[in-house]
């Protein structure tokens, strides 16, 4: 393993984003270009690696001089000056010395030592207030990429990079990065950026990946392959852990494993309270290949199938036939349970359905959710037809996101009925009684829930957006993160208003946001009258056991008190008191 000189424990304190413990070497990725493979070298190979580094620099320099010469012939000296600046970067003595020192100190291959030095340099430049200097990072990235391409890939050492189990340390990760992680190799991750309410953190919790965010300076300071412990419960990343620390965390892991084993024994058991109130626990999924963990979890169906990853993960959207095949596979495998398919929820902080000519000044209040689908009827029609075709092969429901008023519900239902008529004429089977639901995530929808309920078969409250729209605080903005409070009195009252409107109109209400998987809040949600909780597959057993431990009558009395409480913390304390009383062992 790499050495830090003293090998004393180094503790980085971040923000816990997803619970769990990961014990493994660190793999570091930074902004800009991709990291090369990293592997250890014996001390006797240091000079050879330094020579490989010098050879790569010399080859890059010759290439740049040749490019400069060609450009001079074509357009004159002015434009060719950029390559002269690139050559100067290669000749910077401080960079060369730092790389050679890093090879000897880290005992790692030359290309990774070069990458690490350049990324540290780039990160420092990105944090300089001067915009001109910040813009020069693109030139440095270009030169560094050229050097990396010019390293020889031959060698006898076996790479120990991302193919081995590791803790990933990054400046930031996109939700798609998290969704596509090879979870056999990535045991946990830590980022400099992000918040506990970001989609990346939400996906980490759904997949059961320990995660920590807000580790300032981690990318610059941490050396790849350093032994580490990632503590997703307290938000710590511990480098060079001592034997005592390792033993403590191994014991903690065993204790958590015992709780998981006890939960495993209850998988598939009915989720009803001690006084007989049933409540469905279903799962949220992003991809069809998540069905194995869903079925293993004991979930009673899919409460939220997010279709963005299917629709927006390639250069073009899949056609109706391909969508129908994927939806049908999910419906068949989850039978006899229901699969609720949410139509495209693009925009805002998610991938756009198409490039916008003008940057939206506030995308969260702009073109997203059902607004995109209604504005692109051909695309919307393909998705609805695909969902209907899948409904012939299993229990399927459709759900529309970002509803803000009755007209959007009626226009969406009109599209469903039009597609039904088309399929009927074409002789294609589908379920004429396909349940139609809407997401309640905009305060306007919650306030007029009594007007929307007669038009649909169910409500699903998307608490993530409902909270941020209600308190006007972006959940991923650290400056206002303190204002993003799930137990804000206004949020709790909107949830109660929605549930009451549904009950009065004979339809059910579920929750598919982060609140659903937070067992500190299960007593509150149960007491407010929620009938379904849809959570990440990893959270299903824990939420199910929490429900089985509670009394609905006791929760309802507490919820009444919570609705009269004027403070967020007061409401949280009321719910937590019941959680601690009935299942303290489940709380992280």
Mean per-residue pLDDT for 149-173? 66
| Domains of the chain and CATH, by start | 10-32+162-259 (3.50.30.10), 43-149 (1.10.274.10), 269-586 (3.20.20.60)
DSSP 3-state assignment of 317?
coil
Catalytic residue among 27, 86, 166, 199: 199
Pick out the residues of the known binding site: 306, 342, 441, 464-465, 475
For residue 181, what pLDDT band results from cuts at 50, 70 and 90? confident
Residues forming a β-bridge with 330: none
Alpha-carbon distance of 412 to 9, in angstroms, equals 58
What is the reported pLDDT for 148?
Answer: 86
Annotated binding site for phosphoenolpyruvate: 306, 342, 464-465, 475
The pLDDT tens digits for 18-35 are 999 999 999 887 665 667
Outline where DSSP puts E strands in 318-395.
339-342
3-state DSSP assignment of residue 507: coil
Each residue of 392-411: pLDDT tens digit? 999 999 999 999 999 999 99
pLDDT at residue 557 in the model: 98
Reduce the DSSP state of residue 398 to 3 states and report it.
strand
* pLDDT value of position 442: 96
Q: What is the pLDDT of residues 300-323, one digit of tens each?
A: 999 999 998 888 766 578 999 999
Average pLDDT in the 322-326 region? 96
* Active-site residue, from 166, 419, 512, 555: 512
Both tokens assigned to 290 = 């998540």
List of residues 6+ apart from 75 with CB closer than 8 A:
none
**Of 160-169, 189-198, 509-518, highest mean pLDDT:** 509-518
Distance (Å, whole) CA 169 – CA 28 = 5
The Cα-based distances of 103 to 15, 94, 265, 351 in angstroms read: 32, 14, 51, 40
User: What is residue 349's predicted lDDT score, i.e. its pLDDT?
Assistant: 45
Q: CB under 8 Å to 131, separation ≥6 — which residues?
A: none
Spatial contact of 300 and 339, defined as CB atoms under 8 Å apart: no
pLDDT tens readout for residues 569-586: 999 999 999 999 999 989
- The predicted pLDDT at position 45 comes to 92
Binding-site residue ranges for Mg(2+): 441, 465
Per 3-state DSSP, what percentage of the chain is helix, strand, and coil (rounded to 5)? 50, 15, 35
Residue identified by tokens 């998981």 is 260
Q: Put the strands of the sheet holding 186-191 in their side by side order.
A: 10-13, 236-239, 227-231, 21-29, 166-170, 186-191, 211-213, 15-18
582 in active site: no
Share of the chain above pLDDT 70, in %: 86
CB 147 within 8 A of CB 90: yes
131: pLDDT strictly greater than 90? no
Structural contact between residues 539 and 517, judged by C-beta atoms closer than 8 angstroms:
yes
DSSP 404-428: -SHHHHHHHHHHHHHHHHHHHHHT-
Q: Is the pLDDT of residue 356 over 80?
A: no
Rounded Cα distance, 55 and 530, in Å: 66
Omega before 392 within 30 of 0, i.e. cis: no
């Amino acid at each position: 393993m790499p050495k830090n000189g003293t090998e004393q424990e180094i503790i980085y304190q971040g923000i816990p984003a997803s619970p769990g413990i990961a014990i493994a070497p660190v793999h570091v990725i930074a902004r800009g270009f991709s990291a090369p493979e990293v592997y250890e070298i014996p001390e006797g190979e240091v000079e050879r690696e330094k020579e490989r580094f010098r050879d790569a620099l010399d080859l890059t320099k010759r290439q740049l001089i040749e490019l400069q010469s060609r450009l001079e012939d074509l357009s004159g000296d002015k434009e060719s000056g950029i390559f002269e600046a690139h050559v100067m970067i290669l000749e910077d003595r401080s960079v060369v010395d730092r790389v050679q020192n890093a090879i000897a100190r880290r005992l790692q291959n030359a290309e990774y030592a070069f990458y690490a030095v350049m990324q540290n340099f780039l990160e420092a430049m990105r944090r300089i207030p001067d915009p001109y200097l910040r813009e020069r990072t693109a030139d440095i990235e270009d030169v560094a990429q050229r050097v990396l391409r010019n390293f020889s890939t031959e060698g006898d050492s076996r790479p120990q990079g991302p193919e081995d189990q590791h803790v990933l340390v990054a400046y930031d990760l996109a939700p798609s990065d998290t969704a596509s992680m090879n979870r056999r190799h990535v045991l946990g991750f830590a980022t400099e950026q992000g918040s506990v309410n970001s989609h990346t953190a939400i996906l980490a919790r759904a997949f059961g990946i320990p995660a920590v965010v807000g580790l300032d300076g981690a990318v610059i300071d941490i050396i790849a392959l350093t032994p580490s412990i990632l503590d997703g419960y307290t938000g710590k990343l511990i480098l060079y852990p001592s034997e005592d620390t390792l033993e403590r965390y191994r014991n903690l892991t065993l204790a958590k494993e015992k709780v998981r084993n006890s939960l495993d024994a209850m998988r598939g058991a009915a989720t009803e309270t001690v006084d007989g109130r049933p409540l469905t626990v279903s799962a949220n999924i992003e991809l069809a290949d998540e069905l194995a963990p869903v079925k293993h979890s004991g979930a009673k169906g899919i409460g939220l199938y997010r279709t963005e990853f299917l629709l927006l993960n390639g250069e073009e959207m899949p056609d109706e036939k391909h969508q129908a095949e994927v939806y049908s596979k999910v419906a068949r495998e989850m039978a006899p349970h229901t699969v609720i398919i949410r139509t495209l929820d693009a925009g805002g902080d998610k991938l756009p359905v198409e490039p916008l000519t003008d940057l939206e000044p506030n995308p969260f209040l702009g073109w997203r959710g059902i607004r995109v689908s209604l504005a692109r009827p051909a695309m919307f029609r393909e998705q609805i037809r695909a969902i209907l075709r899948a409904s012939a092969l299993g229990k399927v429901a459709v759900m529309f996101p970002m509803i803000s008023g009755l007209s959007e519900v009626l226009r969406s239902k009109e599209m469903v009925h039009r597609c039904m008529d088309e399929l009927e004429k074409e002789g294609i089977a589908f379920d004429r009684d396909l349940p139609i639901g809407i997401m309640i995530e905009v305060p306007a929808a919650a306030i007029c829930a009594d007007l929307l309920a007669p038009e649909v078969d169910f409500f699903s409250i998307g608490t993530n957006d409902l909270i941020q729209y209600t308190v006007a605080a972006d959940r991923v903005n650290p400056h206002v993160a303190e204002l993003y409070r799930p137990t804000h009195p206004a949020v709790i009252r909107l949830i109660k208003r929605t549930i009451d409107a549904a009950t009065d109109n004979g339809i059910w209400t579920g929750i598919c946001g982060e609140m659903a998987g937070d067992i500190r809040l299960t007593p509150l949600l149960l007491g407010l009258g929620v009938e379904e909780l849809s959570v990440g597959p990893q959270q299903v057993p824990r939420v199910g056991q929490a429900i089985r431990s509670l009394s609905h009558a006791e929760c309802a009395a507490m919820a009444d008190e919570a609705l009269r409480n004027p403070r967020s913390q007061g409401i949280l304390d009321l719910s937590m008191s019941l959680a601690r009383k009935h299942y303290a062992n489940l709380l992280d």
